[in-house]
Amino acid sequence: MDRPVDDLTARARIRDAAIKLWGERGIEGASIRDIAAAAGVSSGLVRHHFGSKEALREACDQYAKERMAQIGAEATDSEGIAGLDAAAMHPIASPLQIYLVRSMMDGSETATALFLEAVDTVEQWSTAYGIEPSDRRAYAAALAAIKLSVFAFREQVSKAMGEDITSPAGYARIGQALIEVFTIPLLTPEQTEQLRKHSEEN
Tens of pLDDT, residue by residue over 57-83, are 999 999 998 888 787 777 665 445 555
Q: CB-based burial of residue 38 (10 Å sphere; 0-12 exposed, 13-18 middle, 19+ buried)? A: middle
Q: Which helix (H) or strand (E) holds 117?
A: helix 109-128
| 84: pLDDT strictly greater than 60 | no
pLDDT, position 170: 92
Q: What is the dihedral of CA 62, 72, 152, 27, to 10 degrees?
A: -10
Please state, in angstroms and rounded to a whole number, the distance separating the CA atoms of residues 147 and 198: 27
Q: Which CATH code of 1.10.357.10, 3.40.50.2300, 3.40.50.720, 3.40.50.1110 fits the domain covering 5-201? A: 1.10.357.10
Mean pLDDT of 41-58: 93
| 87: pLDDT strictly greater than 60 | no
Sorted by where each begins, the domain ranges of the chain are: 5-201
Mean pLDDT of 137-166: 92
Mean pLDDT of 35-40: 95
| 31: pLDDT strictly greater than 70 | yes
The least confident of 45-59, 82-96, 135-149 is: 82-96
pLDDT, position 200: 74
State which amino acid sits at residue 162: G
- Note whether 29 and 21 are within 8 A (CB): yes
